[in-house]
Structure 1
Amino acid sequence: MRADRLVALVLLLRRHGRLSATVLARELEVSTRTVLRDIEALSAAGVPVYAERGRRGGFALMPGFRTELTGLTPDEGLALLVAGSQRGTQTFGLGSALASALLKVVDALPDSHPGAAPDAVERLLVDPRADLLARPTAAEEDVPDAVMAAVRRAVLDGRKLRLHYASAGQDPRWRTVDPIGLVSVHGQGYLLATTSGADRTFRLSRIVEAEELAESADRPGRVDLARAWRERSTRFREGGDQVVVLVRIDPARRAELTGTALAVRAEEAGPDGWLRLEVTFQDGRHAEWALWQLGVAAEAVSPPWLRTALHERAAGIARQYER
């Protein structure tokens, strides 16, 4: 770990030219005392790093110094592959590996390359934490590093995995699974696995502990993860206490409704210019929440209990603000 941090420190100085101990500590997620010890270690190893005193001082490398790196680590290479294909580096515990890999990529570029300019990365921002209306974007779930590392190793090594898993509303219990793959959806991570040949899907944030076993997983050599996820999603939508709702809706808000519902069973244009859709929701709470979000732009025509629930909620709000 320290060797990786020393390399990252050198690459930061290469990229920025001069940085204070405080900034280096923040970038490396360590204390300033640790940074000072690392600077001493680099100097002892012959890396030409020196200190500049004063208010704008800090640490810098001698001009012309370049690093000789051995290449990307396995996790760094995996992080770049994941970053190039989907939004999953944070969900799969590869955020720090991606940051380290990108530092190495930038350092390897020739000085004449536009991407090698010190401010190049500062001019690119992907997926900020809020949109233009200051609404926060979907937060990625927090999974302990040790848990994520064990799950990721078992998936990639093809080993059985022992999980201490808490299903919704239940206490955690131990189970042994054969991991198939990892999926990230809107910041939520899932482990696709089998247990005694039966498909199982586990939410990563509900895994309390994880242990990779020495025994090989019982799974096919190749997997179409996108197809497996579609099949499991279909089974999930068709199960549970689903409800079917007939809705009148302003055509301008149709996408909001269909983006929330599980499925659209029927659709036709009404004589008033609004659409009439028959849609499926996961349960009653899901249906009430979705229709409430649309306000007066939608009306639940049936079932009657949903109309009653929405009426009571609206009446309660009206009473609260009638003064």
Structure 2
Amino acid sequence: MRADRLVSLVLLLRRRGRMTADALARELEVSTRTVLRDIEALSSAGVPVYAERGRHGGFGLLPGFRTELTGLNHEESLALLAAGPGRGEQVFGLGPAFASAMRKVVDALPEGHRATASDAARRFLVDPETDLLSRRTVTDEVSGATMVEVRRAVLAGHKLRIHYAAAGRAPEWRTVDPIGLVTVRDRGYLLATRSGEDRTYRLSRMVAAEELPEQAERPGGVDLDRIWRERSARFLGDGHITVLVRVDPARREDLLDTAVAVRAEEPDTDGRLRLELTYQDAWHAEWALWQLGTDAEALAPRTLRIALRDRAAAMAARYADPS
């Protein structure tokens, strides 16, 4: 275990540059004292680790240092094989490249690991195409040529020209500064800026794309997770409606499938669940709750309760006994 940790420590320093002992301890899930002992062991073994003191100090490797640390243990190779060509590779057009890389990984494994890891990986299934209700997962379709141009621009830091069809509109050409790519529930998105304003584009709505030679205006470092959280928060607060619902636990998943987001959830009296949900608008919320009949009850806003009551009354009147 310690040998694996020493390898991971060196790889972290090679990839990220200088890191503090506390940061290394968090990444490796060990104590700071253990990190300091590992640093001393690496230095004694001839690995050129240096310490830089001060507010922005930490540990680093001398520039140009490289060593062969490519051996995978059984658990690491199993993790790669079990992951398989997931939806992200499909959405970003990297499926064939991922399959080719995995063949090389398997071929490079020691003979003993190769057979056992491949067999063990077949015991895991990640994100099947259908769920237990036989509902098929629908993955956004993006043309290969378009995806190649988008991916190149993101990685090269170049401006990108896209022919984009916003919802309910005809496609228009626009030039953007790409920041990164995100996949969520089999949908791919391009995070970008346009004229300095944040923009999020759904990849499946891109009719065509062209990488431009000009450098994109974007920061050198990026935290996609933070950017996505911030944009998601703005999206949920922009013109959406918040609904308080009581629902039968057996229909919880059906309810969640219709919502944009879940803001809160807690058990209610009589065994039901109380959820605070976000919907696109009032009509979307009314439609979603109508599908569940008496298994769900809208508690707020009052206008939604009235709309559902009026719809139910109209339906009851339509089917009243003619006699």
Report the TM range for the smaller structure's normalisation. 0.5 to 0.7
CA-CA distance at 1:277 after TM superposition: 5.2
Within the alignment, does 1:208 sit opposite 2:207 as a pair?
A: yes
Residue 159 of structure 2: SS of its match in structure 1?
Answer: strand
Amino acid at match of 1:235: R
Residue 215 of structure 1: SS of its match in structure 2?
Answer: strand
- Aligned residue in 1 for 2:139: 140
- Aligned residue in 2 for 1:283: 281
- Aligned residue in 1 for 2:91: 91
- Aligned residue in 2 for 1:51: none
**Among residues 282, 292, 295, which one is paired with 1:294 in the alignment?**
292
CA-CA distance at 1:218 after TM superposition: 0.3
Residue 130 of structure 1: SS of its match in structure 2?
Answer: coil
| Alignment gaps of 5+ in structure 1 | 1-70, 72-79
Q: How does 1:167-182 map to 2 (within 5 A)?
A: 167-182=166-181
1:85 and 1:121 mapped to 2: Cα distance? 12
2:86 and 2:98 mapped to 1: Cα distance? 13
CA-CA distance at 1:105 after TM superposition: 1.4
Residue 88 of structure 1: SS of its match in structure 2?
Answer: helix
2:223 and 2:118 mapped to 1: Cα distance? 40
Distance 1:221 1:85, change over 3 A: farther
Q: How does 1:153-192 map to 2 (within 5 A)?
A: 153-192=152-191
1:120 and 1:276 mapped to 2: Cα distance? 41
Distance 1:116 1:214, change over 3 A: farther
| Conserved? CA contact 2:163–2:207, under 8 Å | yes
CA-CA distance at 1:279 after TM superposition: 4.2
2:236 and 2:94 mapped to 1: Cα distance? 30
1:209-233: CA deviations, max 9, x gaps?
Answer: 1000110000000111011011111
Bigger shift: 296-305 or 228-237? 296-305
- Aligned residue in 1 for 2:221: 222
| Conserved? CA contact 2:164–2:173, under 8 Å | yes
Amino acid at match of 2:94: L
Within the alignment, does 1:306 sit opposite 2:304 as a pair?
A: no
- Aligned residue in 2 for 1:198: 197
CA-CA distance at 1:250 after TM superposition: 3.6
Q: How does 1:1-323 map to 2 (within 5 A)?
A: 87-115=87-115, 124-136=124-136, 138-240=137-239, 242-250=240-248, 257=255, 260=259, 262-264=261-263, 269=268, 274=272, 279-301=277-299, 302-303=302-303, 304-308=305-309, 310-311=311-312, 315=316, 319=319
1:159 and 1:180 mapped to 2: Cα distance? 10
Residue 127 of structure 2: SS of its match in structure 1?
Answer: coil
What root-mean-square deviation, in Å, do the aligned CA atoms of Structure 1 and Structure 2 show?
A: 3.5
- Aligned residue in 2 for 1:67: none
| Conserved? CA contact 1:106–1:116, under 8 Å | no
1:125 and 1:265 mapped to 2: Cα distance? 30
Give % identity: 57
Residue 112 of structure 2: SS of its match in structure 1?
Answer: coil
1:120-178: CA deviations, max 9, x gaps?
Answer: 66555332212333232x22111000000000010011000001111111111111100
1:273-296: CA deviations, max 9, x gaps?
Answer: 655555442212320233134332
2:85 and 2:256 mapped to 1: Cα distance? 26
Residue 191 of structure 1: SS of its match in structure 2?
Answer: strand
TM-score (norm 2): 0.62
| Conserved? CA contact 1:164–1:210, under 8 Å | yes
| Alignment gaps of 5+ in structure 2 | 1-69, 71-79
Distance 1:234 1:248, change over 3 A: same
Amino acid at match of 1:306: A
| Conserved? CA contact 2:265–2:273, under 8 Å | no
TM-score (norm 1): 0.62
| Conserved? CA contact 1:165–1:174, under 8 Å | yes
